């Protein structure tokens, strides 16, 4: 679809404070989708009182910001989220400018399809070992928390593949817990991006403590790797012997910043999105049945899934593609405009906050048929081509496109198929949880599961 032709430059449509704010507080995601549906082809300025971000959702406009004129849209500005992310991830792959560029260049080789394909067997084994730990609660009938279990499985996978098993999984799980504290503590700052850091806010102390706890786990590892090159090809080893643009050994802080950033993005994005799957499948027996049937056909009892089996999990992948459409963990991708610009005929001012949201764009009624319906068939191989590349961008686009996309596309079906080939589950609390908006889109309520063994040779 091409950009709508708008003859003159105009100011954005402004959604007024009194109308928008109460609705946003009541149902932020529904309100944003409603506003976007009601203003086709337009950039909407949200009047939230002290902040007035531009909501940019039209796929052609998203492309303008992320790709065509990306140089004008930075993560380094005052935009609510990135200032907060920086407190955890520092100045590396999640930042902007030369530091980001150098980090991206250093990390990219670890995320190529060739590199990930080469570690599939190890990844699958790590996932299988982690899933095995659920045998006990499945036998005793003890409920398990979906998010905690999925994040434990992911920690084991990520620590194995990217961290050369150099930290214990229990430490990885502690980092995820501290991350949650950071996400909660940052909510106050996210709501008040205009306040300088010098103004104390609730959550500041918890934030500092959580970052300190993460550093207490990772810094000894960073120091050991910088002092002694073990010749490994994991990310820790390669950053430990890394050189900066002047040929000097990377300093401790830069290694730390990238390790933390990779750990955080690799775990949080994936466990939040996969947690939605369990309540969803309970609502959608047809999808669940087809998914179970595929997994039972492809994966034998107790199998550690191999590459060939992974390739056959086609419906599983369609379900996951739809899952990141409907519940993209990176629901918010903000930028700050460096100079005045015109997006699709609408003026935006220098310094303005630009809010891109894969969640909103991926639910626009003019680009998606029945957008509120969860339908994996949208991603069937013979489904019609999408109207625009940026009608679906759960992994972003342009130079900052998600470095872990391919890893996710391999890891997620392995996790889902390993789990569901060995267990069936019931929700302790039926129904869909409501979303909780943090840096990622997560279920507000916990999702406790009652597991039962399914086709396990050891348990039969
Ligand atoms: C469902 C899973 C995931 C989703 C929805 C997701 C989403 C995104 C999005 C939207 C961006 C773009 C941010 C921007 O433009 O500012 C991004 C960037 C990034 N993602 Fe992911 N991601 C996922 C999984 C992962 C995984 C598994 C990893 C690591 C193993 C990862 C690492 C990163 C990193 C490091 C960046 C920053 C790249 C850069 O700025 O150069 N992500 N991700």
What is the average per-residue pLDDT within 278-287? 98
Question: Which one is predicted more confidently, 143 or 20?
Answer: 143
Find the 405 Cα to ligand 1 centroid distance in Å: 7
Point out the ligand 1 atom lying closest to the alpha carbon of residue 335: 16
154 phi and psi angles, rounded to 5 deg: -65, -40
Q: 3-state SS string over 84-107?
A: HHHHHHCCCCCCCHHHHHHHHHHH
pTM here is 0.94
Find the 315 Cα to ligand 1 centroid distance in Å: 23
Q: What is the pLDDT of residue 199?
A: 75
User: Cα separation of 443 and 446, whole Å?
Assistant: 7
Q: What is the DSSP secondary-structure string of 227-274?
A: H------SHHHHHHT-B-TTSPBPPHHHHHHHHHHHHHHHHHHHHHHH
Q: What is the pLDDT of residue 192?
A: 64
Distances (CA, A) of 251 to 38, 240, 256: 50, 9, 9
Find the 408 Cα to ligand 1 centroid distance in Å: 10
What is the average per-residue pLDDT within 24-35? 90
Find the 395 Cα to ligand 1 centroid distance in Å: 6
Find the 299 Cα to ligand 1 centroid distance in Å: 29
List of domains in the chain: 13-453 (1.10.630.10)
Most informative mutation of 271, 358, 402, 410 for ligand 1 (most atoms within 8 A of CB): 402
Average pLDDT over the chain, rounded to an integer: 91
Q: What is the pLDDT of residue 2?
A: 46
Residues with CB under 6 A from ligand 1: 75, 93-94, 104, 261-262, 265-266, 269-270, 273, 324, 328-330, 333, 394-396, 400, 402-404, 407-408
Bridge pairing between strands 353-356 and 54-56: parallel
What is the average per-residue pLDDT within 149-175? 96
């Amino acid at each position: 679809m091409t950009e709508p032709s708008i003859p003159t430059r105009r100011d954005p449509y402004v959604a007024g404070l009194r109308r928008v704010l109460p609705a946003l507080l009541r149902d932020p995601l529904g309100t944003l989708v409603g506003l976007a549906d009601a203003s086709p082809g337009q950039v909407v300025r949200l009047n939230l009182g002290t902040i007035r971000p531009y909501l940019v959702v039209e796929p052609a406009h998203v492309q303008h910001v992320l790709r065509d004129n990306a140089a004008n849209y930075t993560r380094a500005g005052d935009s609510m989220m990135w200032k907060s992310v920086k407190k955890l991830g520092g100045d590396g792959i999640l930042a902007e400018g030369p530091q980001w560029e150098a980090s991206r260049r250093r990390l990219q080789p670890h995320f190529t399809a060739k590199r990930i394909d080469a570690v599939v067997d190890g990844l699958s084994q790590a996932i299988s070992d982690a899933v095995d730990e659920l045998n006990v609660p499945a036998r005793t009938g003890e409920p398990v928390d979906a998010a905690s279990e999925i994040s434990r499985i992911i920690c084991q996978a990520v620590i194995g593949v990217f961290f050369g098993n150099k930290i214990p999984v229990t430490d990885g799980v502690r980092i995820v817990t501290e991350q949650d504290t950071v996400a909660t503590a940052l909510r106050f700052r996210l709501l008040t991006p205009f306040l300088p850091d010098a103004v104390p806010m609730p959550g500041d102390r918890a934030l500092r403590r959580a970052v300190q706890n993460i550093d207490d786990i990772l810094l000894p590892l960073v120091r050991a790797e910088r002092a002694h090159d073990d010749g490994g090809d994991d990310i820790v080893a390669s950053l430990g012997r890394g050189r900066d643009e002047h040929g000097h050994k990377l300093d401790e802080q830069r290694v730390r910043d990238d390790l933390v950033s990779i750990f955080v993005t690799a775990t949080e994005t994936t466990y939040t999105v996969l947690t939605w799957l369990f309540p969803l499948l309970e609502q959608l027996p047809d999808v669940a049945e087809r998914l179970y049937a595929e997994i039972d056909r492809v994966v034998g009892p107790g199998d550690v899934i191999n590459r060939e089996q992974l390739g056959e999990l086609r419906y599983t992948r369609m379900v996951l593609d739809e899952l990141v459409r409907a519940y993209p963990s990176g629901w918010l991708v903000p930028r700050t405009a460096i100079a005045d610009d015109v997006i699709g005929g609408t003026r935006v001012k220098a310094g303005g906050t630009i809010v891109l949201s894969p969640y909103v764009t991926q639910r626009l009624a003019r680009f998606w048929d029945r957008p509120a319906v969860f339908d994996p068939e949208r991603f069937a191989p013979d489904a019609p081509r999408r109207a625009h590349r940026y009608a679906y961008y759960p992994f972003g686009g342009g130079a900052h496109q998600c470095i872990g996309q391919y890893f996710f596309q391999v890891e997620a079906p392995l996790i889902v198929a390993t789990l569901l080939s060995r267990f069936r589950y019931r929700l302790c609390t039926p129904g869909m949880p409501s979303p909780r908006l943090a840096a990622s889109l997560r279920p507000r309520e916990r999702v406790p599961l009652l597991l039962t063994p399914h086709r396990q040779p050891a348990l039969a």
